[in-house]
Amino acid sequence: MDLKRNSLGLGNRPALLLVDMINGFTSSRCPLGTDCPDVVEANRRLLERFRALGLPVVFTTVVYHHEDEARVFRERIGHLNLLTPDSEWVQVDPRLAPLQGEPVIEKQWASSFHRTSLHEWLQQQGVDSLVVTGLTTSGCVRATVVDGLQYDYRVVVPEEAVGDRNAEAHQANLFDMHAKYADVMPLAEVETLLPEPQIA
């Protein structure tokens, strides 16, 4: 039986957090990735909206500088060793290229918050809620959503803006995140939570 929970939506100053929308995950040329043009397009739509509103945007990537970083994680998933600083795989997908002032935060583990400066940056921007997108639903997105809640952010996940190599894992994790940690909803519904851009 489902837990009773309240839909919280977004606060007064949401940020868009694009989790690992990097070449290594958005291209099937990399063993870690899968072609996901629909997910990229949903992220592009949200980027355009947040930029038009002047709201904070932040990206994450996964980069390993030396062999001691996330040692056990990399032992488990050997292809993570492809994510070196000089690799094309750690670069944000050019279809979603960050603008000046939009940070790309390096991480080594699943959560975008774990041993990174993300929470501090969000606090500096006055952020009180998050729209979390990216790859993959069952991995880094889920870990980031759980930690977002644990840092007391309201979290919203647009269904079309996250993806996974495994369709069943994708659906199961959307269900579980919505049950406990976030409001999971269609992209169009997320857009209604955002103010309309002002026309100059």
65-116, pLDDT tens digit by residue?
999 999 999 999 999 999 999 999 999 999 999 999 999 999 999 999 999 9
Does the bond joining 26 to the residue before it have cis omega, within 30 degrees of 0? Answer: no
CATH topology of domain 14-193: Rossmann fold (3.40.50)
Predicted model pTM: 0.96
Angle formed by the axes of helices 142-150 and 167-180, nearest 10°? 10
140-165, pLDDT tens digit by residue?
999 999 999 999 999 999 999 999 99
Contact status, residue 12 vs residue 157, Cβ threshold 8 Å = no
Contact status, residue 163 vs residue 135, Cβ threshold 8 Å = yes
pLDDT at residue number 195: 85
- Per the residue annotation, which of 63, 96, 110, 140 is the catalytic one? 140
Residues ≥6 apart with Cβ < 8 Å to 39: 26, 133, 135, 160, 161, 162, 163
Is residue 140 among the annotated active site residues?
A: yes
Q: Quick one: tokens of 122? A: 């969000």
9-47, pLDDT tens digit by residue?
999 999 999 999 999 999 999 999 999 999 999 999 999
